[in-house]
Chain A
Amino acid sequence: MATTVTGPGFLRILTGQLHSRLLAFGGGPQSLSCFHTSTPLEVNKNWDRRNFKLYPPQSPDEPRRPAEVHHCRRQIKYSKDKMWYLAKMIRGMSIDQAIAQLEFNDKKGAKIMKDVLLEAQEIAVRNHNVEYKSNLYIAESFSSKGKYLKRIRYHGRGMFGIMDKVYCHYFVKLVEGPPPQVEPRTSLDQAKEYVQNLKNRTIIHSL
């Protein structure tokens, strides 16, 4: 298993690699390395920019492109992990069903999420030429971490911990059309697929 290389020869190879790497790294130890390692101070606005993408006009024989609306809310005073549960729940639902489910959910994030969905529906009808406000479904929905505030949590014996005041962002993408039909996969189907994958294996480089 271990390759038998002589001691000094091994060292020479290693040092050679190191030398070349040092030279490549920015001209030696005199200049400073200039890697950008800090987090950005401004928020990433890519999600909002997706609303400004302009598609070329379609010819009459092409299938009608469904309208997509991207909406988000930043710095919600809620945990991103708790928000995730709600976001996962409404993925793939039609907008009416999602709003109904969130209205009768007891979590704090549900009310906020319902506001966001209603806002997004309003924007879709007003600005993005969506014809029927019920004809939308939730294509993507997820939450992410916002900028946290740090506070001191006092413990006994003069010890302290840094308490994070959590904030989260919530993103949603509504697409025009009926919600896509998801085929329900039973455990029997999954088992059959597993066995099929095992049977599909081939032995390469054999006689």
Chain B
Amino acid sequence: MATPMRRTLLALHRATCENLKNAEASLDVRHPLPFVIPVRTKKRYFIPPVAGIKQKTQGDQEAKARAAGIVFRQQYIERPVNIACSAGIFDPYIPPEGDARLSTLSKEGLKQRTEQVRQSAASQLAIRKIKEHDPHFTTKEFPEQAQEIFIEAHNALTQFNKEKLHSLVTERCYPEMTRGNRYKTIRWRFIESLEPPKVVHARCPDMVSKGNLYGQVTLRMHSRQTLAVYDRFGRLMLGNEEVQKDVLEYLVLERHLVNPYGRWRLHGKIMPAWAPAKDPVIKTVVIPGPELKPGEEFEALNYEVPKPKAVQWNK
């Protein structure tokens, strides 16, 4: 058994060598291959220091350069930064209490309406300044545009279209809208507008340097919307898709007036102090309370759960 095996192996070896030569020859003739240069791709963990440089410290090198007469220009470690939106809402609008609760036909309602129509002087000045820079701005047409921006921005939020959202919403508002929402599904629908939107407030602050104007306009919107937020696993977290809610909102839109390519973008929302509490989350949440010692009971402590103060805050 051994000798026949060895003979076959030898013959195999000879045959493969012949075949190799044949392969070479045949391949050269038919397809001339490009010569592949091997490249070193292994990472060098130890790179030896360059032999021959004298021990030079940073100070010595600088002294030598100065002696030789080489002058370096002063290096400013600066970068130009474009601020396209202001940091907050300047001089926020304080919505009157009981707004949208009284009907327009009653006497109190009419008084509120007349008050609202004749705006404060500052707002009128601001609107005039905005009209200087943006000739197309009118208090009659702007609310409709603003409502469209609002609806498009929220639709982009449901689809999470980052580029479109950045063009419709300022950089200050973007993280507030999208924080924690990346791994959640939001279903939002704008059904109808109950009252036509109105401009209620305007201000023209300037940031950093005088003349760098930003225009902020507050809009009052009364509309019907549905909202449902689902968490990462598709379970309902907040709201309901069928239930329609009447929403009274005070939106703030901003534009960098000095920039000719500036656009009116959603900058924030104003939550009045008298706003009703929002619906609770569909989840039991632990409110942090006092530390109990081993023998104590919670009921015996008479601990009052602190309620949040009703303060107006800007969102």
Known contacts A28-B33, A30-B35; is A18 also within 8 Å of B234 by CB?
A: no
A-B contact pairs, 18 of them (CB 8 A): A7-B7, A7-B11, A15-B15, A19-B23, A22-B23, A23-B23, A28-B24, A30-B24, A31-B33, A31-B36, A53-B232, A57-B228, A64-B235, A68-B233, A128-B231, A129-B231, A129-B233, A129-B235
A30 contacts which chain B residues (CB < 8 A)? Answer: 24, 27, 33, 35-36
Known contacts A11-B12, A15-B15, A15-B16; is A27 also within 8 Å of B31 by CB?
A: yes
Contacting residues of chain B (9-26) with chain A, CB-CB under 8 angstroms: 11-12, 15-16, 19-20, 22-24
B144 CB to closest chain A CB (Å) equals: 32
Which of B8, B16, B31, B235 counts the most A-chain CB atoms under 10 A from its CB?
B235
A41 at the B interface (CB under 8 A): yes
User: Assuming A55-B233, A55-B234, A131-B283, what are 13 further A-B pairs, CB within 8 angstroms?
Assistant: A7-B7, A11-B11, A14-B15, A15-B19, A18-B19, A22-B20, A27-B31, A28-B24, A57-B228, A57-B234, A58-B230, A129-B231, A129-B233
Are B36 and A32 in touch, CB under 8 angstroms? Answer: yes
Are B12 and A27 in touch, CB under 8 angstroms? Answer: no
B149 contacts which chain A residues (CB < 8 A)? Answer: none
Are A52 and B16 in touch, CB under 8 angstroms? Answer: no
A161 at the B interface (CB under 8 A): no
Which residue of B16, B27, B183, B234 contacts A58 across the interface (Cβ within 8 Å)?
A: B234
Contacting residues of chain A (23-59) with chain B, CB-CB under 8 angstroms: 23, 27-32, 41, 52-58
Residues of B within 8 A of A (CB): 4, 7-8, 11-12, 15-16, 19-20, 22-24, 27, 31, 33, 35-36, 38, 43, 183, 185, 187, 228, 230-237, 283-284
B230 contacts which chain A residues (CB < 8 A)? Answer: 57-58
Closest residue to B36 on the A side, CB-wise?
A31
A67 at the B interface (CB under 8 A): yes
Are A128 and B232 in touch, CB under 8 angstroms? Answer: yes
> In whole angstroms, how far apart are the Cα atoms of A15 and B4 in the complex?
17
Are B16 and A7 in touch, CB under 8 angstroms? Answer: no
> In whole angstroms, how far apart are the Cα atoms of A55 and B230 in the complex?
9
B43 CB to closest chain A CB (Å) equals: 7
Known contacts A11-B8, A19-B23, A57-B230; is A27 also within 8 Å of B33 by CB?
A: yes
> In whole angstroms, how far apart are the Cα atoms of A64 and B33 in the complex?
61
Residues of A within 8 A of B (CB): 7-8, 10-11, 14-15, 18-19, 22-23, 27-32, 41, 52-58, 64-68, 128-129, 131-132
Are A22 and B36 in touch, CB under 8 angstroms? Answer: no
Are A29 and B19 in touch, CB under 8 angstroms? Answer: no
A49 CB to closest chain B CB (Å) equals: 12
Which residue of A28, A68, A129 contacts B23 across the interface (Cβ within 8 Å)?
A: A28
> In whole angstroms, how far apart are the Cα atoms of A31 and B28 in the complex?
12
Are B8 and A10 in touch, CB under 8 angstroms? Answer: yes
Which of B15, B233, B234 counts the most A-chain CB atoms under 10 A from its CB?
B233
> In whole angstroms, how far apart are the Cα atoms of A8 and B11 in the complex?
9
Are A15 and B12 in touch, CB under 8 angstroms? Answer: yes
Which residue of B19, B36, B187, B284 contacts A57 across the interface (Cβ within 8 Å)?
A: B187
Closest residue to A30 on the B side, CB-wise?
B33
> In whole angstroms, how far apart are the Cα atoms of A11 and B4 in the complex?
12
Closest residue to B41 on the A side, CB-wise?
A38
> In whole angstroms, how far apart are the Cα atoms of A54 and B235 in the complex?
11
> In whole angstroms, how far apart are the Cα atoms of A55 and B185 in the complex?
9
Are B231 and A7 in touch, CB under 8 angstroms? Answer: no
Closest residue to A15 on the B side, CB-wise?
B15
Are A58 and B185 in touch, CB under 8 angstroms? Answer: no
Are A65 and B233 in touch, CB under 8 angstroms? Answer: yes
